[in-house]
């Protein structure tokens, strides 16, 4: 099967309008919920920690996977932001998805969007679910509307908020986690892999820490555990790539379908012992902007959800900065 076939996108009619409406809905929600100076992210607002890390591209990558960020063995500095996914800051005891946003610094090559922290970065936005349950932009808009306006109001406007498949997938993938360093994280959406194909990415912990004696007493216990662990030990994740083998069973335009192809290791993420739970680092992490479009052209984001993210994330980031009086993120 040709690479051209594998990387083909199919943009539905009306998608740009849907994306514009998503931005309007989310900005209205942020304006109503938060006062100026205290506006946070719409999703992933609860940060557990912003960590220094190293992204280590291995020298054992086979030739058919040497492209973009992975073309040669090299160690990059990186920032990692761990978070809870829901749009409101709730207890860590709730079953939900967690986030791991990675910003690799000082990458070489042509990038799609420049970063404010450093001109050339490669971002990977990951959650503990291998799928993004909304699947496409139209369902994304419905989900955002339901979260911000409520399903009853949607019904009054003649919009059916109940996509039972999306709801079922969301509930199925929501988990209770005891340690952020013990779980896998996935991009959920697809990306170009140079001239090699289309892929998704995964970060998988190498060595699990013991949770035997850990008690989930506080509603912020995931952050507390992260502080405790990184006070005494390093953490290492394998960074994996999963190639699309069949565009019918592993589609680009529907992120709610889990791909079943094999994962291959291409790098490692090293998180060293560190202290990070102090005010200046917290402020830095809260203002740090992540977008899958801050990336090398070899790793262009693909599919409707990624197309929506490009406009939505940038617009909401600028809106947050303006309301909070932040010049740069």
- Contact indicator for 127, 169 with CB cutoff of 8 Å: no
**Residue 68 main-chain phi, psi, to 5 deg:** 60, -125
Superfamily for domain range 3-9+16-324: Catalase core domain (2.40.180.10)
pLDDT per residue of the chain (329 residues) written in tens, 0 to 9: 444 445 578 899 999 999 999 999 899 988 988 898 888 888 888 999 999 999 999 999 988 899 999 999 999 999 999 999 877 788 888 888 999 999 999 999 999 999 988 889 999 999 999 998 888 999 888 888 877 766 565 555 445 555 656 666 666 677 888 999 999 999 999 999 999 999 999 999 997 766 655 566 789 999 999 999 999 999 999 999 999 999 999 999 999 999 999 999 999 999 999 999 999 999 999 999 999 999 999 999 999 999 999 999 999 988 988 898 886 44
**Residue 51 main-chain phi, psi, to 5 deg:** -115, 145
pTM of the full structure: 0.90
| β-bridge mates for residue 123, sequence order | 103
Per-residue pLDDT, 158: 47
The DSSP string of 84-141 is E-SSS---TTS-B-EEEEEEEES--S-BSS--SSSSSEEEEEEESSSS-TT-SHHHHH
Per-residue pLDDT, 86: 77
Torsion of CA 37, 87, 114, 287, to 10 degrees: 30
Query: Among 63, 67, 296, which Cα is nearest to 197's?
Result: 67
Rounded Cα distance between 254 and 249, Å, is: 10
Rounded Cα distance between 271 and 34, Å, is: 33
Rounded Cα distance between 71 and 193, Å, is: 11
| β-bridge mates for residue 270, sequence order | 54, 236
Q: Which residue has the tokens 């102090």?
A: 278
Across 72-92, b (16+ Cβ under 10 Å) vs e yields: eebebebbbbbbbbbbeeeeb
Per-residue pLDDT, 9: 85
Q: Which residue has the tokens 């999306």?
A: 166
- What is residue 211's three-state secondary structure? coil
- Contact indicator for 98, 226 with CB cutoff of 8 Å: no
Rounded Cα distance between 240 and 300, Å, is: 17
Per-residue pLDDT, 5: 47
Per-residue pLDDT, 133: 85
Per-residue pLDDT, 90: 85
Torsion of CA 45, 297, 22, 148, to 10 degrees: -20
| β-bridge mates for residue 102, sequence order | 80, 124
Per-residue pLDDT, 204: 97
- Domain residue ranges of the chain, discontinuous segments joined by +: 3-9+16-324
- Give the angle subtended at the CA of 306 by the CAs of 183 and 131, to the nearest 5°: 35
- Number of C-beta neighbours around residue 61 at 10 A: 19
Rounded Cα distance between 35 and 161, Å, is: 28
Across 110-126, b (16+ Cβ under 10 Å) vs e yields: ebbeebbeeebbbbbbb
Rounded Cα distance between 301 and 292, Å, is: 7
């Amino acid at each position: 099967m040709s690479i051209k076939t594998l990387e083909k996108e199919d943009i539905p009619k009306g998608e740009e309008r849907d994306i514009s409406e998503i931005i309007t809905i989310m900005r209205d929600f942020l304006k109503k919920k938060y006062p100026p100076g205290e506006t946070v992210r719409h999703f992933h607002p609860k940060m557990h920690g912003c960590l220094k890390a190293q992204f280590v591209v291995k020298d054992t990558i086979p030739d058919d996977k040497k492209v973009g960020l992975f073309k040669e063995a090299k160690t990059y500095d990186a920032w990692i932001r761990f978070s809870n996914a829901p749009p409101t800051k709730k207890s860590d005891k709730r079953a939900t998805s967690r986030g791991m946003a990675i910003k690799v610094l000082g990458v070489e090559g042509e990038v799609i969007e420049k970063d404010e922290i450093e001109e050339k970065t490669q971002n990977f936005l990951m959650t503990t679910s291998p799928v993004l349950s909304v699947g496409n932009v139209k369902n994304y808009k419905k989900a955002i509307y339901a979260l911000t306006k409520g399903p009853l109001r949607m019904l009054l406007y003649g919009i059916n908020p109940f996509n039972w498949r999306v709801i079922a997938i969301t509930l199925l993938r929501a988990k209770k986690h005891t340690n952020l360093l013990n779980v896998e994280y996935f991009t959920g959406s697809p990306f170009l892999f140079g001239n090699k194909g289309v892929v998704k990415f995964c970060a998988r912990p190498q060595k699990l820490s013991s949770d035997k004696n850990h008690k989930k007493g506080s509603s912020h216990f995931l952050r507390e555990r992260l502080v405790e662990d990184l006070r005494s030990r390093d953490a290492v994740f394998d960074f994996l790539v999963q190639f699309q083998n069949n565009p019918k069973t592993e589609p680009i335009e529907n992120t709610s379908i889990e791909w079943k192809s094999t994962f291959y290791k291409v790098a490692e993420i090293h998180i060293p012992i560190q202290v990070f739970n102090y005010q200046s680092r917290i402020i830095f992490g809260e203002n740090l902007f992540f977008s899958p479009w801050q990336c090398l052209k070899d790793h262009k984001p693909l599919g409707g959800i990624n197309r929506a993210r490009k406009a939505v994330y940038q617009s909401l980031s600028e809106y947050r900065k303006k309301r909070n009086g932040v010049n740069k993120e």
